[in-house]
């Protein structure tokens, strides 16, 4: 679609949105026709020839014959692909790349097929989101983006397929280069920095180059907000060294990778004037605990852009501290399996953001979920009763759903495990509010708590910290059922000094803040023991990050697991615990 000689991507999306129902039917029929005859589909379609079938009939047939699936149902096929079986198992197109989902939410990493379609949709959603953003926050063409992005290590499977995170495949793709050219904004760091494989060295260089190009930087971004906070926390320690490098046109000896050194040294040259301006700004910022760091250091930046919803919400407070009055724009909703929705209202605050589903990317179904009344809930799975999945055209405002995906990359009726709520519509497209991962994380008895429940409890419990001028850096938890009665352990890393009396109060407050009926009843009858708050020493969560990175995770897609039973992590956490509190007097005011 053209407007004033330029491709009008918003106009295109509006048209798609008007006809979302038929776009979904067509998308499904395209996926099934392209992959006609693959082993997985043959199992359900047997000898039915779908090639000539009318699209609506095919949609009904598909949902009646093919069952809902989880990753475990497909694992065997994906493993065969990884081992080099080149028969068409899930797709007719040969799969040459596998993505590693971050796995930090599920506890272990999963392989998911990645094809050219995956990079193309990434490019398309990035361009669409950029067009929406520039309506409200226009940026200068030819400007720069400080992109705090990182590729993971890539490796080959037995069958010769390349494995890496989805973002890693994208940064290595043609589409990533096209995005920079077509959106006329360029990342500050060269490819060698993004793919260095050492996130500490990449972060240093991203920050150094971001400051080298400071006047050209139009916005600051990362995939998940965690990496922005992580990078600026490092900056608080590194700024003097970075200023030295800007002054001398040199590069710190902490950068040891030759191709990174060469790539950065090719760009920078001595700039004493810039170095002293930055140094004096940093001295002032240090006095004010780095409040407003981003606009002070990047005076032309228009906004900060990143995923700030879901498990990233706990980092918002710190991000706001660094960003001051600069708008925080929440980035789109996606997963390793497929992109899901675009933020069409970039000015809405991260707490209220919704995502308009991309109906031409995958075929979406929605499992209606109803929360069981807490008293009646006796299943040991979760708190939801589910109905049969409905297509996109039948979702209802205010209803919660679990998302099911059928993708061009060979996933058929795949349960993503995310719970969303329909919060509105963009023409005929639902706008989704991300609620939580469906999986329970804390459960020792009849109690059922999700990541979101824990997040709310920690938010309440940590309110008292701000009075002590301390902040919660990060947190995780463990459902300890080793001794009877089982109990919850919550680990906090804190910045600042807090009196023991206050921490004891935080612990009691968290115990009292779980509203889940199972927890409340179990605590009253002491079939769940008092909650334990463990304060870990500074740097513990960085150690956890490093553990995951060593095992193939990438900083770009990293999410701290909010609950863990992983023995290595528990060992790190327990060895780093410097104070322990047990809540007492449950259900009574102290
Ligand atoms: P992964 O595939 O492991 O990188 O992570 C994908 C998961 O991250 C999704 O299934 C969501 O649970 C979460 N996620 C991705 N984008 C968003 C978003 N914009 N808001 C909230 N959660 C998100």
Max mean pLDDT range (125-134, 166-175, 368-377):
125-134
- Report d(CA 191, CA 147) in Å as an integer: 11
Which runs of consecutive H residues, i.e. helices, occur in 172-271?
A: 174-182, 191-194, 199-212, 225-248, 258-267
The β-bridge relationship of strands 328-330 and 303-307 is parallel
Tell me the CA–centroid distance for residue 334 and ligand 1, in Å. Answer: 6
Of 442, 420, 406, 416, the residue nearest 368 (C-alpha): 420
* 282 plus 383 within the same structural domain: no
Q: Which residues pair with residue 362 across a beta bridge?
A: 407
**Looking at the predicted structure, is the pLDDT value of residue 277 above 70?**
yes
Is the pLDDT at 179 greater than 90? The verdict is no
| Ligand 1 centre distance from Cα of residue 451 (Å) | 13
At 438, is the pLDDT very low, low, confident or very high (cuts 50, 70, 90)? confident
Which among 437, 470, 491 is the end of a domain? 437
Ligand 1 centroid vs 384 CA: distance in angstroms?
Answer: 20
Is 236 in the same domain as 382?
A: no
Q: From residue 180, how far is each of 166, 175, 185, 268, 567 by CA, in Å?
A: 18, 9, 5, 21, 42
Residues 6+ apart with CB under 8 A from 237: none
Together in a domain, 197 and 310: yes
pLDDT at 587: 64
Does residue 318 sit in the same domain as residue 340?
Answer: no
Closest to 492 (Cα-Cα) out of 470, 476, 511, 513: 476
In this structure, the answer to whether residues 552 and 485 fall within a common structural domain is: yes
Cis before 485? omega within 30: yes
Task: Give the pLDDT band (50/70/90) at residue 526.
Answer: confident
Same domain for 377 and 256: no
Per-chain mean pLDDT for the chain: 91
Domain of 560, in residue numbers: 451-582
Same domain, 23 and 106: yes
What is the model's pLDDT at position 11?
95
pTM score, whole prediction: 0.90
DSSP state of 94: P
If you take atom 13 of ligand 1, which residue's CA is the nearest one? 335
Of 106 and 18, the one with more pLDDT: 18
Atom of ligand 1 nearest to the CA of 343: 19
Residue 3 confidence class, pLDDT cut points 50, 70, 90: low
Name the domain count of the chain: 3
Nearest CA to ligand 1 atom 17: 333
Taking only the tens place, the pLDDT of each residue in 448-497 is: 898 889 999 999 999 989 888 899 999 999 999 888 899 999 999 999 99
Encode pLDDT of 374-402 as tens digits. 555 555 566 789 999 999 999 999 999 99
**Does 306 lie in the same domain as 352?**
no
* 169 and 278 belong to one structural domain: yes
What pLDDT, in 10s, does the model give residues 221-237? 999 999 999 999 999 99
User: 412 or 311: which carries more pLDDT confidence?
Assistant: 412
Given ligand 1 and candidates 165, 310, 420, which is best to mutate, with the most ligand atoms within 8 Å of its CB? Answer: 310
Task: With respect to residue 532, please indicate whether it lies within any of the assigned structural domains.
Answer: yes
Residues 575 and 462 occupy one common structural domain: yes
Q: Long-range contacts of range 316-320, CB-CB < 8 Å, 24 or more positions apart?
A: 316/225, 316/350, 316/351, 317/471, 318/229, 318/471, 319/225, 319/228, 319/229
Residue 547 burial (CB < 10 Å; 0-12/13-18/19+)? Answer: middle
Residue of 70, 99, 105, 122 to mutate, ligand 1, most atoms within 8 A of C-beta? 105
Both 85 and 184 in one domain: the answer is: no
**Domain boundary, last residue among 287, 309, 326:** 326
Q: Which atom of ligand 1 is nearest to the CA of 102?
A: 3
Does residue 152 share a domain with residue 270?
yes
Distance 333 CA to ligand 1 centre (A): 6
User: What is the arithmetic mean of pLDDT over 135-158?
Assistant: 90
Average pLDDT over residues 48-63: 93
Given 273, 300, 326, which residue is the final one in a domain?
326
For residue 106, pLDDT beyond 70: no
Residue 589: pLDDT over 50? no
pLDDT value, residue 456: 94
Pocket of ligand 1 (CB under 6 A): 101-102, 105, 307, 309-310, 333-336, 416, 418, 434, 437, 557
Question: In sequence order, what are the beta bridge partners of 6?
Answer: 3
């Amino acid at each position: 679609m053209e407007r004033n000689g330029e491709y009008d991507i918003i106009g295109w999306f509006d048209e798609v949105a008007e006809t979302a129902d038929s776009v979904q039917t067509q998308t499904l029929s395209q996926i099934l026709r392209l992959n006609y005859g693959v082993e997985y589909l043959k199992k359900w379609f047997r000898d039915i020839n779908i090639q000539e079938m009318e699209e609506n009939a095919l949609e009904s047939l598909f949902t009646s014959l093919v069952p809902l699936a989880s990753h475990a149902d497909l694992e065997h096929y994906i493993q065969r692909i990884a081992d080099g079986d080149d028969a068409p198992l899930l797709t007719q197109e040969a799969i040459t790349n596998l993505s590693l989902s971050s796995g930090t939410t599920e506890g272990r990493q999963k392989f998911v097929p990645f094809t050219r379609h995956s990079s193309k949709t990434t490019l398309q959603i990035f361009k669409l989101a950029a067009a929406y953003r520039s309506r409200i926050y226009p940026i200068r063409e030819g400007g720069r983006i400080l992109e705090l992005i990182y590729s993971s290590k890539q490796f080959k499977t037995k069958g010769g397929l390349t494995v890496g995170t989805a973002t890693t495949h994208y940064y290595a793709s043609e589409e990533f280069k096209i995005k920079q050219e077509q959106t006329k904004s360029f990342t500050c760091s060269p490819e060698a920095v993004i793919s260095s494989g050492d996130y500490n060295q990449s972060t240093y260089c991203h920050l150094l180059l971001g400051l080298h190009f400071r006047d050209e930087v139009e916005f600051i971004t990362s995939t998940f907000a965690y990496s922005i906070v992580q990078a600026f926390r490092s900056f608080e320690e590194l700024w003097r060294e970075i200023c030295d490098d800007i002054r001398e046109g040199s590069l710190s000896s902490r950068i040891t990778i030759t191709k990174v050194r060469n790539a950065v040294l090719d760009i920078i040259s001595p700039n004493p004037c810039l170095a002293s301006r930055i140094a004096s700004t940093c001295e002032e910022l240090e006095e004010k605990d780095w409040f407003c760091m981003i606009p002070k250091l990047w005076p032309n930046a228009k906004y900060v852009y990143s995923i700030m919803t879901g498990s990233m919400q706990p980092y918002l407070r710190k991000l706001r501290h660094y960003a001051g009055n600069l708008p925080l724009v929440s980035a789109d909703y996606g997963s390793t399996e497929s992109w899901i929705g675009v933020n069409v209202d970039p000015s809405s605050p991260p707490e209220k953001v919704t995502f308009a589903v991309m109906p031409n990317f995958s075929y979406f179904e929605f499992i209606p979920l109803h929360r069981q009344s807490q008293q009646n809930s006796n299943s040991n799975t979760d708190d939801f009763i589910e109905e049969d999945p409905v297509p996109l055209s039948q979702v209802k405002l205010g209803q919660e759903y679990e998302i099911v995906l059928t993708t061009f990359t060979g996933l058929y009726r795949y349960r993503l495990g995310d719970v969303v709520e329909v919060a509105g519509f963009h023409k005929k497209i639902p706008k989704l509010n991300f609620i939580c991962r469906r999986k329970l994380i804390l459960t020792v008895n009849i109690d059922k708590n999700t990541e979101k429940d824990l997040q709310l409890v920690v938010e309440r419990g940590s309110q008292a910290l701000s009075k002590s001028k301390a902040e919660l850096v990060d947190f995780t938890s463990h459902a300890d059922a080793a001794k009877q009665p089982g109990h919850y352990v919550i680990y906090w890393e804190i910045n600042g000094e807090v009196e023991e009396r206050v921490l004891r109060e935080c612990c009691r407050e968290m115990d009292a803040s779980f509203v889940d009926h199972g927890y409340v009843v179990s605590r009253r009858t002491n079939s769940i023991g008092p909650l334990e708050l463990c304060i870990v020493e500074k740097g513990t969560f960085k150690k956890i990050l490093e553990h995951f990175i060593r095992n193939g995770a990438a900083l770009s897609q990293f999410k701290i697991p909010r609950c863990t039973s992983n023995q290595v992590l528990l060992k790190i956490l327990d060895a780093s615990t410097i104070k322990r509190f047990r809540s007492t007097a449950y259900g009574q005011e102290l």
